[in-house]
Amino acid sequence: MAAITLTTANFNEEVINSQLPVLVDFWATWCGPCRMVGPIVEELAQELEGQIKVGKLSVDDEQEIASQYGVMSIPTLLLFKDGKVAVTVVGARPKEDLRKQLGI
């Protein structure tokens, strides 16, 4: 399963009210490190299908949500559990480092 595109319209349904943990990738098209992390996030979405949901949120398109969660630098990955932020990872990381930091 590919990562879900998150917007103001579906954020509560897909993230806050999700029964599964949700990994949210805050990114932008102009961000070089985001382009490095993007394929890793997609791989995690495939590998962990059924265990977690993965979503991508453009900080350019959804500034209000990014601001609400204090996203100051991108890429920022937030792991939500039971509708709350459980883990925050800022910056590009190799896949295994991300898995370790996120506990997934």
Q: Which residues are catalytic?
A: 31, 34
Gap between the Cα atoms of 75 and 82, Å rounded: 22
Gap between the Cα atoms of 66 and 60, Å rounded: 9
Give the Å distances, CA to CA, from 103 to 10, 13, 50, 78, 94.
25, 23, 16, 12, 14
Query: Could you give phi then psi for residue 82, rounded to 5 degrees?
Result: 55, 40
